[in-house]
């Protein structure tokens, strides 16, 4: 071949190489994000959920009233108002000083000493907020330094015990979102592992594992949860769990998550069956990869798109189920608070004579908007992660 033709071919190849290198590819994740950004409803839902999550995390830092402080005489079922409010955290020290200065001759010494001991064991944080954790205490101390005793007025009214509804909605969002996220994560871990293993192994193992899922599907979830919560609430078992630092809310997280993995397992199993005979799986087998590596390193990442979509639909289902359990009195119990418990308290004070609408309306609105946002975001993610919707 003449040298001139070789030079021409090399120059053409160089031009093609430069042109190819100038073209920048787009990853699947970036392409999905671009398509998601075109869905305005999904983006608005994502922004709303981010705001709700941020407010829930930093609720102790906000200048809200106490969610458990009761004032029956002056604040019984007040309508939404702009009346100035104070936290009155100094009342604790005044009460302590009054008991210490009380003469023994004017009262029962044993009663005074008992009251004084109980008051000294408690503190302003436990009297105004129910057992805040270390991070919560740090945020509450920062809140007192920033805002002092000043509080946001009762913009959403008060309940039958004189407690501020707005503050209880914000503190209830922490429980509702934690239940949704933790239970969904538990169902994700169990469902993905179980479904991927059954789908890849196949044969008799797949048949047995799926029949177990079918049997569990035939049992009503509500009866299972009620039975487990009732069993774990037995005094001796409850005391043993509390010694290990496990309270009723933690049990609720785990129990709900442990029963919501069945559909996730079926979805993942179907996706794995369609992928396990692809060429990249054959290549992994050829180089000697074991079953566990193929399942969790190659198959599971390729089904995460559908898993994420289903997860966004599982979270609202879990939150609604927790609200239903709390509404029945089987979920979160006072002095803890959740949106379902708030709705239950509102139903109890509604009578044919007078309807205190704000008791039900504002907690129901918070729950409804959050569930709508999660469902709209799930629909947007489904369209963005589906390759068949790329040009639509």
pLDDT of residue 226: 76
CB 365 within 8 A of CB 165: no
Same domain for 291 and 321?
yes
Whether the per-residue pLDDT at 224 is higher than 70: the answer is yes
Distances (CA, A) of 27 to 32, 38, 186, 296, 304: 9, 17, 29, 21, 15
Residue ending a domain, among 104, 132, 158, is 158
Let me know if residue 152 belongs to a domain: yes
Same domain for 307 and 345?
yes
Residue ending a domain, among 158, 173, 196, is 158
pLDDT of residue 308: 80
The mean predicted confidence, pLDDT, of the chain is 78
Reported as a pLDDT band with limits 50, 70 and 90, residue 169 is very high
Same domain for 145 and 184?
no
Mean pLDDT check: name the lowest of 80-84, 158-162, 253-257, 380-384: 253-257
Percentage of the chain modeled with pLDDT above 90:
6
User: The CATH number of the domain where 296 resides is what?
Assistant: 1.10.3720.10
Let me know if residue 276 belongs to a domain: yes
pLDDT of residue 113: 62
Domain range for 244 is 44-57+164-389
Pairwise pLDDT comparison (139 vs 351), residue with the higher score: 139
pLDDT of residue 54: 93
Whether the per-residue pLDDT at 93 is higher than 70: the answer is no
Same domain for 299 and 372?
yes
Cβ neighbours of 190 (radius 10 Å): 18
Residue 151 backbone phi and psi in degrees, to 5: -130, 155
Same domain for 152 and 228?
no
Distances (CA, A) of 85 to 95, 121, 387: 20, 27, 55
Residues 229-251 as b/e (b if ≥16 CB within 10 A, e otherwise) read beebeeeeeeeebeeeeeebbeb
Cβ neighbours of residue 249 closer than 8 Å, sequence gap 6 or more: 175, 179, 332, 336
Take residue 175 and report the two structure tokens written for it.
């429980």
* Distance in angstroms (rounded) separating the CA atoms of residues 42 and 380: 5
Same domain for 184 and 289?
yes
Whether the per-residue pLDDT at 105 is higher than 50: the answer is no
DSSP label at 290? Answer: -
Mean pLDDT check: name the lowest of 51-60, 173-182, 196-205: 173-182
pLDDT of residue 283: 84
Same domain for 202 and 280?
yes
Residue ending a domain, among 111, 135, 158, is 158
Same domain for 125 and 247?
no
Q: Per mean pLDDT, which of 42-51, 98-107, 295-304, 334-343 is the most reliable?
A: 42-51
127-139: pLDDT as tens digits: 778 777 788 888 8
| 226 CA to centre of own chain | 21
How many domains, in total, are found in the chain? Answer: 2
277-314: pLDDT as tens digits: 888 888 888 888 888 888 888 888 888 777 887 887 78
Same domain for 107 and 220?
no
Reported as a pLDDT band with limits 50, 70 and 90, residue 44 is very high
Cβ neighbours of 200 (radius 10 Å): 22
H or E element: which one contains 150?
strand 150-151
Whether the per-residue pLDDT at 120 is higher than 70: the answer is no
Q: CA angle, corner 133, sides to 124 and 48, nearest 5?
A: 105
Residue 164 backbone phi and psi in degrees, to 5: -75, 125
Same domain for 322 and 189?
yes
Tell me what the mean pLDDT of segment 323-330 comes to. Answer: 74
Q: Is 386 helix (H, G, I), strand (E, B) or coil?
A: coil
Q: Per mean pLDDT, which of 12-16, 74-78, 252-256 is the most reliable?
A: 74-78
Pairwise pLDDT comparison (89 vs 295), residue with the higher score: 295
Same domain for 211 and 281?
yes
DSSP label at 133? Answer: -
pLDDT of residue 32: 75
Same domain for 108 and 207?
no
Count of H helices and E strands in the chain? 20, 2
């Amino acid at each position: 071949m003449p040298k001139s033709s070789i030079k021409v071919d090399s120059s053409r190849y160089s031009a093609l190489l430069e042109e190819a290198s100038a073209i920048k590819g787009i990853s699947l994740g970036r392409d999905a994000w671009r398509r998601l950004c075109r869905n305005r409803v999904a983006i608005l839902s994502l922004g709303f959920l981010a705001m709700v999550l941020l407010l829930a995390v930093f609720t102790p830092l906000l200048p809200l009233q106490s969610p458990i402080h009761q004032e029956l005489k002056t604040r019984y079922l007040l309508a939404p108002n702009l009346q100035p409010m104070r936290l009155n955290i100094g009342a604790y020290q005044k009460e302590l000083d009054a008991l210490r200065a009380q003469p023994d001759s004017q009262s029962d010494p044993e009663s005074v000493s008992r009251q004084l001991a109980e008051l000294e064991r408690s503190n302003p944080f436990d009297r105004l907020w129910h057992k805040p954790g270390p991070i919560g205490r740090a945020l509450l101390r920062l809140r007192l330094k920033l805002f002092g005793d000043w509080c946001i007025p009762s913009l959403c009214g008060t309940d039958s015990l004189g407690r501020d509804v707005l503050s209880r909605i914000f503190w209830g969002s922490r429980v509702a979102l934690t239940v949704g996220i933790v239970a969904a994560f538990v169902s994700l871990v169990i469902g993905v592992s179980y479904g991927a293993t059954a789908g890849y192994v196949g044969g008799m193992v797949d048949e047995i594992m799926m029949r177990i899922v079918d049997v569990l599907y035939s049992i009503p979830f509500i009866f299972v949860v009620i039975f487990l919560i009732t069993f774990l609430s037995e005094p001796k078992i409850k005391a043993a769990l509390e010694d290990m630092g496990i309270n009723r809310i933690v049990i609720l997280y785990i129990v709900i998550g442990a029963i919501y993995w069945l559909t996730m397992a079926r979805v993942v199993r179907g996706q794995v069956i369609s992928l396990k005979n692809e060429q990249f799986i054959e290549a992994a087998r050829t180089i000697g990869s074991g079953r566990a590596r193929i399942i969790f390193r190659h198959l599971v990442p390729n089904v995460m798109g559908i898993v994420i979509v289903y997860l966004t639909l599982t979270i609202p289902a879990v939150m609604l189920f927790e609200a239903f359990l709390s509404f029945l009195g089987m979920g979160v119990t006072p002095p803890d608070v959740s949106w379902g418990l708030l709705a239950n308290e509102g139903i109890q004070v509604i009578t044919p004579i007078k309807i205190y609408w704000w008791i039900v309306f504002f907690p129901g609105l918070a729950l409804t908007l959050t569930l709508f946002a999660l469902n709209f975001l799930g629909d947007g993610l489904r369209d963005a992660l589906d390759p068949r919707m790329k040009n639509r």
